Amino acid sequence: TTPSQPKHADRSKLYMADLESTLHYSLRVEAARPATLSGAQLAAFKCYVATLVKYFPGRPCVQTYLQSLDGWLRNWTEPELPRSALKEAVKNNRDASHPAVLPTNVTWVGCQGSEPHFRGYPCGLWTIFHLLTIQAAQSGPDKELPLEVLGTLRCYVQHFFGCQECAQHFEAMAAESMDQVAGREEAALWLWSHHNKVNARLAGGDTEDPKFPKLQWPPPDMCPQCHKEERGVHAWDEPAVLTFLKAHFSPANIYLDYTE
Ligand code: FAD
């Protein structure tokens, strides 16, 4: 099988189509799987949507969509949220004076795999996670609520991420070191370095898209200044990596190609 249409993605850019496809899948498919949400799972969902409202740099109609979903969830004070009610709440509202619309189509651009079973949603989820930790690092004092975003992502993965084996691996890494993160910039670097650990573990495995080999990222051709050598061994220049992440995961680097 070949992808439905050839897309020309630039790996140095982010694509809004990937981000919106990911949000559509996460909010309307993945989170809507349980028959009811309650307890820690409901709290994790509310927290995830509130974090998106705060830090996701979406198009105006998507921002409105997230704000209205967040407002609806805040008003939902019963202990159980049935799937039928959630399914209604995650629908678009095009008629309001401010349309609340998250496109319902799934289009992968930067996350397009060479075959349909490669890349796509998990690639988009990592991208959104990095984007959120970087946006949080760019706003507010560094030492204030360092785990605001990272903790929310941890809960989302634990309670909703459909790949259970992935969720277990991620939770094990989080339990080991996430609580030691003391600042927002450190949180963004924690996610970067742990994503690289996942890349190293998965390199050469059967979930790897042969057209997109798992790399220690960013590779030298994307960010030469991120790499250095200490006594003959490779090392990361973390301040340079942080500068690179801030530029790569910035609203100015999100392209609208292929959005509806
Ligand atoms: P991805 O790893 O998905 O990365 C997406 C994009 O992010 C890349 O194209 C690149 O532009 C950028 N990027 C790459 N590395 C970094 C980095 N270190 N920092 C910042 N940006 C980076 N799959 C498994 O088979 N087993 C698992 O245990 C597993 N655990 C996962 C845990 C989580 C939380 C998530 C979100 C996914 C997990 N996956 C796991 C899926 C796997 O990590 C990939 O997402 C998937 O194989 C698609 O890979 P990809 O080539 O599109 O790149």
How many domains does one find in the chain?
Answer: 1
Mean per-residue pLDDT pooled into runs of 10, the chain (260 residues): 66 98 98 98 98 98 98 98 98 94 97 96 98 96 97 98 97 98 98 98 96 97 97 96 98 94
- Ligand 1 geometric centre to CA of 228 (Å): 24
Containing structural domain, residue 252: 1-260
| Per-residue pLDDT at 7 | 74
What CATH number does residue 58 fall under? 1.20.120.310
Cβ burial of 67 (10 Å; 0-12, 13-18, 19+) is: middle
- Ligand 1 geometric centre to CA of 215 (Å): 10
Alpha carbons 65 and 56: distance in angstroms, whole number: 12
For residue 153, give the ligand 1 atom closest to its CA: 34
- Ligand 1 geometric centre to CA of 122 (Å): 6
For residue 123, give the ligand 1 atom closest to its CA: 3
Residue type, 129: F
| Per-residue pLDDT at 8 | 81
What SS3 string covers the chain? CCCCCCCCCCCCCEEHHHHHHHHHHHHHHHCCCCCEEEHHHHHHHHHHHHHHHHHCCCCHHHHHHHHHHHHHHHHCCCCEEEHHHHHHHCCCECCCCCCECCCCCCCCCCCECCCCCCECHHHHHHHHHHHHHHHHHCCCCCCCCCCHHHHHHHHHHHHHCCCHHHHHHHHHHHHHHHHHCCCHHHHHHHHHHHHHHHHHHHCCCCCCCCCCCCCCCCCCCCCHHHEEEECCEEEECHHHHHHHHHHHCCHHHEECCCCC
ipTM of the complex: 0.99
At residue 80, what are phi and psi to the nearest 5 degrees? -120, 135
Of 25, 118, 126, the one to substitute when testing ligand 1's pocket (max ligand atoms within 8 A of C-beta) is 126
| Per-residue pLDDT at 2 | 47
Beta-carbon contacts of 205 under 8 Å, excluding residues fewer than 6 positions away, are none
